[in-house]
């Protein structure tokens, strides 16, 4: 871990012990946008990001961006939660085997058939891996009581759209058709992920339904990207810059994922599930959004469309948080409590215990 990452890690740990009054002082002037008040601990995180020069991914090469995300994720993840087991596996992808990591909480240890979340990490389809989301997967396993299988799908630009979507579907189907390998109950396999991973989870639910199954039992969509076409939603305008995920950053990710054919490819429901003509018959879903996130409105629009299609859906907006908060478990109480809440919803959705 480099000097800047060590500084960030130390500062993140310190914020956990600070009073709200001190956090407000460190975070600077109170920020209120669109009727929402930015959490003081989030303001401190954003100030640290600005001081360390880690706001703008668009100035980096893909390899530099991936390394930066790894370092940043490690600096704010916090201490790893202990589990009964963490196992390295492989699952089928669309063009060969993919790495996967199984998280087994004590509650779902031992022989038997247990509920399972197939998890796809975020990172704009370009960055992120099993390690960047290790802390989140551990927390979801412990709080939900379900096993979690994180899938290391192929990334762009080496593998452009629809490679990630095809991998996600292939991986889910592989698990669903042979659940015994992972000690999973075939009737209680969910899909979930954050940001681009939320996008892939929604796509898997759509594609699996179209194929006639097997289908997920539940969807956990954490600030999902659901519309790669729209550019003028209110949240995209309000939070175009200054709140971790930026408009220029999203354009950078899309450019690598779609390449020069973005105008033709982005409306495809495998890229923009919000634009799918029919959402009926999908698995129950819990959608989480962050108030200070350019993806907020498209995530909430997807919840509305699911509801209109007769799908059981719950929506939870964490008004004072930013995109990426689920990975900042060592940097603040509010974001960590939000993830604990997600685990509780997953527990209920998969009928754990």
Residues annotated as catalytic (active site), given as ranges: 195, 293, 323
Nearest residue to 175 via CA among 133, 219, 134, 216:
216
What's the burial of 89, exposed, middle or buried (CB within 10 Å: 0-12/13-18/19+)? middle
CA-only gyration radius of the chain, Å: 19
User: What CA–CA distance (Å, rounded) separates 245 from 243?
Assistant: 6
Using CA atoms, how far apart are residues 352 and 264, in angstroms rounded to an integer?
Answer: 42
String of DSSP letters for 312-331: -EEEEEEEEEETTGGG-TTS
**What contacts 192, CB < 8 A, 6 or more positions away?**
117, 118, 119, 120, 140, 198, 201, 218, 219, 220, 221, 222, 346
Residues 6 or more apart in contact with residue 30 via CB below 8 angstroms = 24, 37, 38
């Amino acid at each position: 871990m480099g000097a800047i990452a060590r500084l960030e890690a130390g500062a993140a740990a310190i914020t956990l012990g600070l009073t709200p009054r001190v956090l407000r002082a460190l975070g600077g002037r109170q920020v209120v946008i669109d009727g929402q008040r930015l959490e003081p601990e989030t303001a401190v995180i954003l100030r640290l990001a600005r001081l360390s020069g880690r706001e703008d991914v668009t100035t980096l090469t893909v390899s530099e961006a991936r390394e930066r995300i790894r370092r940043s994720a490690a600096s704010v993840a916090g201490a790893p939660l202990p589990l009964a087991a963490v196992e390295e596996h492989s699952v089928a992808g669309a063009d060969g085997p993919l790495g996967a990591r199984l998280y087994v909480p004590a509650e779902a240890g031992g022989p038997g058939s247990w509920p399972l979340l197939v998890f796809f990490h975020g990172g704009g389809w370009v960055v992120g891996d099993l390690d960047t989301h290790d802390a989140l997967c551990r927390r979801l396993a412990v709080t939900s009581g379900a096993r979690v299988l994180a899938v290391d799908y192929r990334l762009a630009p080496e593998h452009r759209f629809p490679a990630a979507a095809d991998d996600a579907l292939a991986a889910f189907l592989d698990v669903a058709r042979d659940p015994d390998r992972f000690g999973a109950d075939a009737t209680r396999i969910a899909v979930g992920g954050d940001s681009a991973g939320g996008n892939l989870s929604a796509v898997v639910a759509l594609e699996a339904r179209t194929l006639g199954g097997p289908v997920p039992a539940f969807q956990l969509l954490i600030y999902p990207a659901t519309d790669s076409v729209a550019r003028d939603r209110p949240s995209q305008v309000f939070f175009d810059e200054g709140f971790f995920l930026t408009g220029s950053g999203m354009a950078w990710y899309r450019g690598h994922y779609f390449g020069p054919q973005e105008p033709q490819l982005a409306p495809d429901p495998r890229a923009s599930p919000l634009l799918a003509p029919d959402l009926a018959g999908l698995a129950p879903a819990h959608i989480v959004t962050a108030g200070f996130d350019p993806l907020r409105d498209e995530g909430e629009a997807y919840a509305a469309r699911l509801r209109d299609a007769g799908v059981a859906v719950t929506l939870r907006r964490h008004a004072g948080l930013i995109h990426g908060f689920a990975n900042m478990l060592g940097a603040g109480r509010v974001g960590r409590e939000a993830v604990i809440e997600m685990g509780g919803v997953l527990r209920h959705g998969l009928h754990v215990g």
